[in-house]
Amino acid sequence: MSASFPVAAATARLGRGPWSPVQIGIYVGPDAVAAVEVGAGSVPHWVLSGPAPVDGETLTTSITELLSRMPRSHGSWRRPRAVVGMHGEFAQYKRLWGLPPVADPTVGSALVRENAARFFRQTPHGLSTSAVVVRAPGEIWASAVDTSIVRTVSHCCKTHGVDLGALIPMDSVAADSPAPAVLADDASVKAWRLARIAAASGDIDFNSATLGTFHRTRSPRRERFALAALCMASALLATLPVLDAQRSARIARQGHAAIAAREAEALAMVAELNQVDAALLAIAQAQVSRRHSIDVIAHLTATLPPGAAITHLQLDSLGGTVTALASSADGVIKGLAASPLIVQPEIVGPVTRDRSAGREFDRLAVRFRHPVRQAPVVDRRSEP
């Protein structure tokens, strides 16, 4: 079914900038439909009205022809944004009873969406519920619209290049201020109130335009914030190479400092190993130069002249002192001097003459030194 739309009287159009928003209110009632665009100060730019739809098919026709006759602004680069208000015959708006108390409205909205048949009158095509609104403790309100109506309105707006900001029940809109005198009929006044809601920033309560999901309207403040965030992101992307270079330099400095610390530790360890090597070398030289007392006694016995006897022997790390009895002190000195294991033999103390078993012997004490032998040196630092 088609319907003709008489053109209503319109006010003089106001000039707007290219970024000025185009805010439209559309009212769908049982008696008529109307559309109004408002500008600064809620002044109506134009008003359109027509007969009411009878069923779903005529609803599509009514809204389509209404939007097709909508004056287009050639000075604005932004898409028009509309808030559509439905009369009580098309939208259900009520206080909900039997809903469990919830602190988070999102949880309450989900409960209403999943149990829509319990709170609202069912329709053949299902219901699209709005987010719940808590007006007082225990006082929860919500709305629901036939899903087919939501899809019809959304499709008509999209076809004519209009962003559907919200679809709300007209019963939830308060008459908080007098309407301009140019708006002669009730449908136009209601459309004007919807346009004022579209022009206001913030969230719109009882919005069923998103098929039951929570909808947040766009606002100039949010758009400015998004533009600022975009500029900040662009600046950050421009500074990323510099930040990356600084980070690489910082990592290189940290790596150099770590290498320098390990190098210092390695040098300290080398110095400690050198000290250990020197101590081990001294111990090895002392062990090489040390003589076993039995070996020394056996060698002294072999070097002394026949008939001589050792009466006392004292050994130390450098050499030793031996007291011997021999027929001649000169023979003892010559024998010790000829030994390769004895160095610098010399008589210490007096040489006395003793008699034993009818024979006379010389008693003398001889001091001698061990020859110094070098221990083999092993360079541990040259080992793999």
Question: What is the CATH classification number for the domain harbouring 353?
Answer: 3.30.1360
Q: What is the pLDDT of residues 246-269, one digit of tens each?
A: 889 999 999 999 999 999 999 999
55 and 162 in a single domain? The answer is: yes
**Coil/strand/helix, residue 279:** helix
Question: Among 185, 206, 227, which residue terminates a domain?
Answer: 227
Residue 381 DSSP one-character state? G
DSSP 159-186: HTT-EEEEEEEGGG----SPPPTT--SH
Question: Six-digit token pair at 250?
Answer: 């910082």
Please give the DSSP secondary-structure letter assigned to residue 340: T
Output the six-digit token pair for 302. Answer: 């072999």
Strand partners, 314: 321
Domain that holds residue 92: 23-227
Dmax over CA atoms of the chain, in Å, equals 171
Residues 70 and 194 occupy one common structural domain: yes
213 in Cβ contact with 154 (< 8 Å): no
Beta bridge partners of 348: 365
The top-scoring range by mean pLDDT among 134-138, 163-167, 353-357 is 163-167
Quickly tell me which residue has 């900001």 as its tokens. 165
Task: Report if residue 49 sits inside a domain.
Answer: yes
Query: What secondary structure letter does DSSP report for 2?
Result: -
Question: Number of folded domains in the chain?
Answer: 2
Same domain, residue pair 223 and 297: no
β-strand partners of 346: 367
Same domain, 170 and 94: yes
Q: Residue 94 forms beta bridges with which residues?
A: 142
Report CA torsion sign: 37, 43, 46, 49. positive
pLDDT reading at 363 higher than 70: yes
Q: Where among 227, 252, 276 does a domain terminate?
A: 227
pLDDT at residue 7 tops 50 = no
Give the pLDDT band of residue 336 (cuts 50, 70, 90): confident
Residue 9: the pLDDT is 36
pLDDT of residue 137: 80
pLDDT of residue 213: 37
Distance of alpha carbon 9 from its chain centroid, rounded?
A: 60
Q: Distance (Å, rounded) from C-alpha 70 to C-alpha 24?
A: 10
CATH at 164? 3.30.420.380
Angle at 63 between CA 59 and CA 67, to 5 degrees: 170
Q: 83: part of which helix (H) or strand (E)?
A: strand 81-86
Task: Tell me, yes or no, whether 44 lies in a domain.
Answer: yes
HSE (CB half, 13 Å, CA atoms) of 374? 3
CA torsion through residues 335, 340, 346, 348, sign: negative
| Domain identity same for 107 and 205 | yes
Of 203, 227, 251, the domain-final residue: 227
pLDDT, tens digit, for every residue of 199-251? 886 678 878 776 433 334 455 666 788 888 999 888 888 888 888 888 899 99
The model carries a pTM of 0.51
Q: Is 377 contained in some domain?
A: no
Whether residues 180 and 46 fall in one domain: yes
* Cα of 199 vs its chain's centroid, Å: 39
Helices (H), the chain: 56-68, 105-114, 116-119, 147-159, 186-199, 220-289, 293-303, 329-337
- Check whether residue 46 and residue 158 sit in a common domain: yes
Interval 177-196: pLDDT, tens: 788 888 878 888 998 989 88
Q: Are 23 and 198 in contact (CB under 8 A)?
A: yes
Q: What is the pLDDT of the chain when averaged over all its residues?
A: 79
What pLDDT, on the 0 to 100 scale, is given for residue 5? 35
* Within a domain: 245: no
Measured CA to CA, the distance from residue 281 to residue 300 in angstroms comes to 29
* pLDDT on residue 54: 67
Same domain, 169 and 301: no
- pLDDT value of position 20: 65
Asked if 203 and 314 sit in the same domain, the reply is: no
Residue-wise pLDDT tens digits, 278-308: 888 877 766 655 556 677 777 777 778 887 7
Percent of the chain with pLDDT over 70: 82
In terms of domains, do 217 and 314 share one? no
> In this structure, are 44 and 148 located in the same domain?
yes
Please state the rounded mean pLDDT for residues 324-332. 79
Q: Is the dihedral of CA 224, 227, 229, 231 positive or negative?
A: negative
Residues 47 and 188 in one domain: yes
At 254 the pLDDT is 92
Q: Contact, 170 vs 90, CB < 8 A?
A: no
- Residue 373: its pLDDT value, please? 60
Higher-pLDDT residue of 45 and 7 is 45
User: Is pLDDT above 80 for 11?
Assistant: no
Instruction: Return all residues near 210 (Cβ < 8 A) that are at least 6 apart.
Output: 128
Q: Are strands 81-86 and 163-169 parallel, antiparallel or unpaired?
A: parallel
CB 140 within 8 A of CB 121: no
Tokens 């469990």 — which residue? 100
**Looking at the domain assignment, is residue 253 inside a domain?**
no
Cα distances (angstroms) measured from residue 261 to each of 86, 250, 264, 271, 357: 77, 17, 5, 16, 81
The per-residue pLDDT for 202 is 67
Angstrom distance (rounded) from CA 33 to CA 90: 13
Position 308 in a domain:
yes
The answer to whether residue 84 is domain-embedded is: yes
Classify residue 327: in a domain, yes or no: yes
Mean pLDDT of 95-101: 84
